[in-house]
Amino acid sequence: MSPAPTGPVLVTGCSSGIGLATAQALLDAGHIVYATARRPETLTGLASSGARTLALDVTSEESMSVAVKSIEAEHGRVGALVNNAGYGEYGTIEETDLEKVRTMFETNVFGLARLTQLVLPAMRDAGEGRIVNIGSMGGRFTFPVGGYYHSTKYAVEALSDALRNEVRRFGIGVSLIEPGLIRTGFEGTALSSGAAAAQGSSPYAALLASSASNTRGGYGNRMISAGPESVAKVVRRAIESGHPKPRYVVTPAARALIATRTLGGARLWDLMMRAQFNG
């Protein structure tokens, strides 16, 4: 497996947060970077830094196909794909609108899967490539009020594990990045979700209020949260390493929570959730 892809790097969801930081870190490292977003006008800063920019909506087959074909027409293949686009639709299992959940799955899971399908044939022909999926510590355990979002990240875990063992024979490496709390504004989107915000009229009002308080407190605590640059550094490592790891956990707090859930089992985890979420 080559120490780094010889083709360009395609990064999704670059308008802000992890995608923006990742594209910039890869540019700084000398990679050819295609920074993409649904609204390409949000990418002017990256374009000024030397990124090639494209419109790419991971819920649109046409948009994904056009973007990949454009890169392949110029370079022959995508050298590395960073599947970063995603968001959180929060709320209790009972109350969350399933149409909104389906839309989230289209972005977080099916878009990731389809874009991966589109870049793989040329990678196989070249005998090299990298796929880096941005998952979450939330693919290894579940907080109440985040069940549907966690479900998308559990799905990304499964897809990444299967894909890694399917494509390594073709010289393609697959890594999953599992960030903890990253200060990107993610929590604002999550807390404004319809079911998560409807506290007053909900039988889960106390739980929703506790969840909102814990979320704000966690992201605001710089001892347990980190900036998006911390994820960008790990993505670069996964792309450039001659022997990329299957998983990279980002932040000490995320490692501690994953270990607690894995080693302590469901009973201990449930006790922690009762204490943290008041019930």
Model confidence pLDDT, tens digit, residues 61-86: 999 999 999 999 999 999 999 999 99
Catalytic, 148? Answer: no
User: Would the pLDDT of 200 be above 90?
Assistant: no
Mean pLDDT lowest for which of 2-6, 189-193, 248-252?
2-6
| Contacts of residue 205, Cβ cutoff 8 Å, sequence gap at least 6 | 199
Question: Exactly one of 34, 90, 148, 149 is catalytic; which is it?
Answer: 149
Under a CB-based contact definition with an 8 Å cutoff, are residues 4 and 27 in contact?
A: no
The band of 187, judged by pLDDT with boundaries at 50, 70 and 90, is confident
Per-residue pLDDT of 95-140, as tens digits, reads 999 999 999 999 999 999 999 999 999 999 999 999 999 999 999 9
- Give the Cα separation of 105 and 103 in Å (integer): 5
The topology (CATH level 3) of 9-276 is Rossmann fold (3.40.50)
Give pLDDT, residue 198: 62
The strand pairing partners of 130, in sequence order, are 80, 173
Under a CB-based contact definition with an 8 Å cutoff, are residues 174 and 245 in contact?
A: no
Q: Give the global pTM.
A: 0.94
What is the residue type of 170? F
